[in-house]
């Protein structure tokens, strides 16, 4: 019976850890969502102010709108995401074994087109097609 209670206590601890992680993720997502929404709203308002300023054609209004946009972007937290993280792409070339027939490695020049194999044309030799 004690083993059962020990297992239940262990599972209870695991669920507490998972619950704490989920709660932390919820706060993180909510905070970043609010930062992104605030940035988009401020940029949109600033852009509309720029359009209005362009129609009014006054330098003071344009500079005020640009200053508002720059201030809003500078006021964001330092860890606020500006773009989603991009995945790392690793390209590994696949060399062909010696004497193998088939497709050469991706992006490798064909054996007949390697620069060392191509001789410069001589004046009396016909041009290659």
What the block records as the tokens of 105 is: 């490695």
User: Distance between CA 102 and CA 120 in Å, rounded?
Assistant: 28
In angstroms, the Cα distances linking 75 to 26, 35, 58, 68 are 23, 10, 26, 11
pLDDT bucket at 108, cuts 50 / 70 / 90 = low
Residue predicted with more confidence, 95 or 22: 22
Tell me the pLDDT tens digit for each residue of 49-85: 878 777 776 667 777 777 877 877 776 666 666 666 6
């Amino acid at each position: 019976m004690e083993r059962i209670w020990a297992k239940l206590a262990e599972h209870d601890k695991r669920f507490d850890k998972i619950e704490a992680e989920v709660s932390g993720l919820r706060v993180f997502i909510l905070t970043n969502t609010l930062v992104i929404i605030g940035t988009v709203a401020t940029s949109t308002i600033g852009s509309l102010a720029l359009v209005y300023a362009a129609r009014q054609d006054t330098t003071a209004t344009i500079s005020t709108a640009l200053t508002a946009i720059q201030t809003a972007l500078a006021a964001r937290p330092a860890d606020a995401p500006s773009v989603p993280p991009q995945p790392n792409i690793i390209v590994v070339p696949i060399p062909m074994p010696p004497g193998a027939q088939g497709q050469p490695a991706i992006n490798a020049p064909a054996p007949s087109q390697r620069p060392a194999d191509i001789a410069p044309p001589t004046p009396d030799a016909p041009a290659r097609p």
